[in-house]
């Protein structure tokens, strides 16, 4: 048995059973091992950013790490942007990065690079395995590191000769990853939180794993009992949403609106979230979004048990059960296609259990408001702000959940990782993609105003427009094997969504919006 085989055995023994792969020469023994270790499902991706984004989506829906298989420094770098999103989402994820044989690196051959430096920028765990006999334990350690808690990016570098070298210490049983329990919330901070909830104008800011239906219900009990506001972080990893699920106020993305949103607060209690700061700095706008007078209590930082924290507040406050929120399900919209009617169309057609991967940027701005009373579903968002998340994460979510996934993409953001469409077709994944075509980087038109960089020149305008030439999104999808359709009215969109949800496999819907619509 060689090192690659031992790696596959250890991973599958630890319930890491999916590998999103874009292999090269150094990874051929791992690939060959897929024939022997059938418990591992290898899924080919045509670009590494697809593999890493898929592993992120997989982890969001399953709570378990998938492996990626990446080729040397370039492979890890190509996957970096979506690893950044996964890092910010605090999901467990395991990179297997092939490297040159250990004795070969001294020669600085063309593909030699500083993999360790790239991996270090992900602020997770990393190790380069130095012999076939160390593979199994290193793999178990990597899985352990990936789980955290909180989840993190673990990068295991596998030199080619470690991969093909013989394992001479084959164990009776492959090592299991040690698992660390969630930290208990601090008693003192619980007391302090209860006190400010009773005495101050306070809010709970929930995020991380505290946005499940169950935890949101606990949070709402706390809010009802004390008059506190219940606010959610702007870009949740994955949240429960729809009828019967508490719908928290969402922290506004734009600092200039978020600051007034929070300015009356005297206390903010963080549960699975971090202290709110501006996504970007803008001239004459504060970075910290709470007022200087606001007391911020970090009750359950990432890695802490948010369920226990919420329950402690409920118990301490003797907060009564609150009825599930109810309201009329969204009606089917008609007429012109705008970002409002698009959100309404999505909301009206959501099948129960749908997972939405939202990277629609400006085009999807009305989505959150529209889906409050849709059928129960889950929402994944762009936690790290690194564009190219939507399609890959939809791949991983579909693989991990077996449920239908709806990816909401914009034309600008879709172009970063459009190769994910091919994997959807190859694996016959139940993914519906809505590609919002507004022929512009509309977010940048907005941001340009916010940072005060508006001019009336054409040279700069040309950097924000995508309509010369216009991209045929449908053709990009069908060229990669995904059936596609173009819609220009709300009625057409509703019907295309319904058709896709009723049809196994992927479908691409290009939704043509007015140019530059934000």
Query: Which residues inside 73-102 make contact with a copy of itself, applying CB under 8 A?
Result: 73-74, 77-78, 80-81, 84, 88, 100-101
Kindly identify the residues of this chain, within the stretch 208-227, that bind a copy of itself according to CB under 8 A: none
- In the complex with a copy of itself, the residue whose CB is nearer, 341 or 383, is 383
| Burial class of residue 472 in the structure, from the number of CB atoms within 10 Å of its CB (0-12 exposed, 13-18 middle, 19+ buried) | middle
The distance from CA 176 to its chain's CA centroid, rounded to whole angstroms, is 27
| Burial class of residue 10 in the structure, from the number of CB atoms within 10 Å of its CB (0-12 exposed, 13-18 middle, 19+ buried) | buried
Cα Rg of the chain, angstroms:
24
Cα–Cα dist 274/1, whole Å = 46
Cα–Cα dist 272/218, whole Å = 14
The distance from CA 104 to its chain's CA centroid, rounded to whole angstroms, is 37
Task: Give the residues across from 19 on adjacent strands.
Answer: 42, 67
Three-class SS of 399-444: HHHCCCEEEEEEHHHHCCCCCHHHHHHHCCCCEEEEEEECCECHHH
Q: Minimum CB separation from a copy of itself for residue 114, in Å?
A: 4
Cα–Cα dist 92/145, whole Å = 8
Q: How many residues bind a copy of itself (CB under 8 A)?
A: 105
- In the complex with a copy of itself, the residue whose CB is nearer, 101 or 183, is 101
- In the complex with a copy of itself, the residue whose CB is nearer, 108 or 352, is 108
258 contacts a copy of itself (rule: CB under 8 A): no
39 contacts a copy of itself (rule: CB under 8 A): no
Q: Minimum CB separation from a copy of itself for residue 40, in Å?
A: 8
- In the complex with a copy of itself, the residue whose CB is nearer, 385 or 516, is 385
- Residue of 63, 325, 385, 516 interacting with a copy of itself (CB under 8 A): 385
- In the complex with a copy of itself, the residue whose CB is nearer, 88 or 224, is 88
- In the complex with a copy of itself, the residue whose CB is nearer, 478 or 488, is 478
325 contacts a copy of itself (rule: CB under 8 A): no
- Tell me how far apart the 2 most distant CA atoms of the chain are, in Å: 71
- Residue of 281, 324, 352, 499 interacting with a copy of itself (CB under 8 A): 281
Spell out where 109-169 has E strands: 125-128, 153-159
Give the binding range for a copy of itself (CB under 8 A) out of 180-188, 220-228, 282-290, 329-337.
282-290
Instruction: Indicate the helix (H) or strand (E) that contains 42.
Output: strand 41-44
Rounded to 10 deg, the angle between the 213-226 and 306-317 helix axes is: 30
Structure-token pair, residue 262 = 């929070």
For residue 260, which phi and psi values (nearest 5 degrees)?
A: -65, -30
- In the complex with a copy of itself, the residue whose CB is nearer, 335 or 452, is 452
387 contacts a copy of itself (rule: CB under 8 A): yes
- Residue of 1, 252, 332, 464 interacting with a copy of itself (CB under 8 A): 464
DSSP 172: S
Spell out where 272-416 has E strands: 295-300, 355-359, 377-380, 405-410
- In the complex with a copy of itself, the residue whose CB is nearer, 112 or 195, is 112
Kindly identify the residues of this chain, within the stretch 431-450, that bind a copy of itself according to CB under 8 A: 443-444, 447-448, 450
Q: Minimum CB separation from a copy of itself for residue 438, in Å?
A: 14
Kindly identify the residues of this chain, within the stretch 344-383, that bind a copy of itself according to CB under 8 A: 383
Q: Minimum CB separation from a copy of itself for residue 164, in Å?
A: 6
Q: Minimum CB separation from a copy of itself for residue 233, in Å?
A: 10
Q: 514 by DSSP, 3-state: which?
A: coil
- In the complex with a copy of itself, the residue whose CB is nearer, 178 or 460, is 460
Kindly identify the residues of this chain, within the stretch 472-501, that bind a copy of itself according to CB under 8 A: 472-476, 478-481
- In the complex with a copy of itself, the residue whose CB is nearer, 177 or 399, is 399
Cα–Cα dist 297/290, whole Å = 12
Q: Minimum CB separation from a copy of itself for residue 241, in Å?
A: 21
**Binding mask of the shown chain, residues 388 to 427, with x at each position contacting a copy of itself by CB under 8 A:** x-----------------------x--xx-xx--x--xx-
- Residue of 13, 29, 152, 439 interacting with a copy of itself (CB under 8 A): 29
Size of the chain in residues: 518
256 contacts a copy of itself (rule: CB under 8 A): no
Give the binding range for a copy of itself (CB under 8 A) out of 115-123, 132-140, 204-212, 400-408.
115-123
Kindly identify the residues of this chain, within the stretch 143-182, that bind a copy of itself according to CB under 8 A: 160-161, 164
- Residue of 15, 120, 169, 293 interacting with a copy of itself (CB under 8 A): 120
- In the complex with a copy of itself, the residue whose CB is nearer, 183 or 277, is 277
- Residue of 13, 18, 20, 49 interacting with a copy of itself (CB under 8 A): 49
DSSP 169: -
| Burial class of residue 492 in the structure, from the number of CB atoms within 10 Å of its CB (0-12 exposed, 13-18 middle, 19+ buried) | middle
- Where do the H-state alpha helices sit in 173-305? 187-199, 213-226, 255-262
Cα–Cα dist 234/21, whole Å = 31
503 contacts a copy of itself (rule: CB under 8 A): no
- In the complex with a copy of itself, the residue whose CB is nearer, 79 or 242, is 79
> Do the beta carbons of residue 350 and residue 242 sit within 8 Å?
yes
Give the binding range for a copy of itself (CB under 8 A) out of 22-30, 131-139, 310-318, 395-403.
22-30
């Amino acid at each position: 048995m060689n090192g690659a085989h031992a790696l596959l055995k250890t991973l599958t023994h630890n319930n890491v059973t999916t590998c999103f792969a874009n292999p090269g020469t150094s990874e051929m023994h791992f690939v060959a091992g897929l024939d022997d270790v059938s418990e591992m499902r290898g899924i080919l991706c045509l670009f590494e950013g697809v593999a890493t984004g898929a592993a992120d989506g997989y982890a969001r829906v399953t709570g378990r790490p998938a492996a990626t298989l990446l080729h040397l420094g370039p492979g890890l770098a190509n996957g970096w942007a979506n690893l950044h999103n996964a890092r910010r989402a605090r999901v467990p994820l395991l990179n297997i990065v092939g490297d040159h044989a250990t004795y070969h690196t001294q020669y600085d051959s063309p593909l030699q690079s500083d993999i360790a430096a790239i991996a270090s920028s992900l602020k997770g765990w990393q190790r380069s395995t130095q012999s076939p006999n160390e593979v199994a334990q290193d793999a178990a350690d990597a899985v352990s590191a990936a789980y955290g808690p909180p989840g993190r990016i673990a990068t295991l570098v596998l030199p080619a000769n470690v991969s093909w070298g013989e394992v001479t210490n084959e164990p009776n049983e492959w090592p299991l990853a040690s698992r660390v329990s969630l930290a208990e919330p601090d008693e003192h901070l619980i007391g302090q939180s209860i006190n400010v909830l009773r005495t101050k104008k306070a809010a709970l800011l929930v995020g991380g794993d505290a946005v499940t239906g169950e935890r949101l219900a606990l949070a709402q009990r706390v809010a009802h009992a004390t008059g506190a506001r219940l606010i959610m972080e702007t870009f949740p990893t994955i949240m429960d949403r729809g009828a019967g699920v508490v719908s928290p106020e969402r922290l506004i993305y734009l600092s200039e609106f978020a600051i007034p949103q929070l300015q009356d607060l005297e206390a903010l209690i963080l549960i699975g979230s971090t202290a709110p700061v501006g996504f970007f700095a803008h001239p004459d706008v504060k970075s910290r979004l709470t007022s200087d007078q606001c007391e911020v209590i970090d009750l359950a930082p990432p890695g802490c048990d948010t369920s226990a924290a919420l329950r402690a507040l409920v118990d301490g406050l003797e907060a009564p059960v609150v009825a599930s929120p109810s309201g009329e399900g969204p009606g089917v919209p008609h007429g012109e296609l705008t970002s409002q009617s698009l959100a309404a169309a999505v909301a009206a057609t959501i099948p129960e259990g749908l997972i939405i991967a939202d990277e629609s940027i400006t085009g999807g701005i009305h989505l959150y408001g529209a889906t409050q009373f849709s059928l129960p579903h889950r929402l994944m968002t762009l936690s790290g702000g690194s564009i190219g998340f939507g399609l890959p994460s939809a791949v991983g979510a579909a693989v991990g959940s077996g449920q239908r996934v709806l990816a909401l993409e914009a034309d600008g953001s879709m172009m970063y990782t459009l190769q994910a469409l091919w994997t959807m077709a190859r694996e016959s994944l139940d993914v519906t993609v809505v590609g919002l075509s507004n022929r512009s980087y509309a977010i940048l038109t907005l941001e340009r105003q916010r940072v005060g960089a508006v001019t009336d020149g054409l040279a700069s305008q040309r950097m924000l427009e995508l309509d010369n030439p216009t991209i045929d999104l449908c053709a990009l999808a069908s060229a990669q094997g995904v059936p596609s359709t173009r819609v220009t009215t709300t009625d057409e969109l509703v019907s295309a969504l319904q058709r896709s949800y009723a049809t196994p496999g992927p479908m691409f819907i290009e939704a043509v919006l007015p140019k530059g619509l934000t």
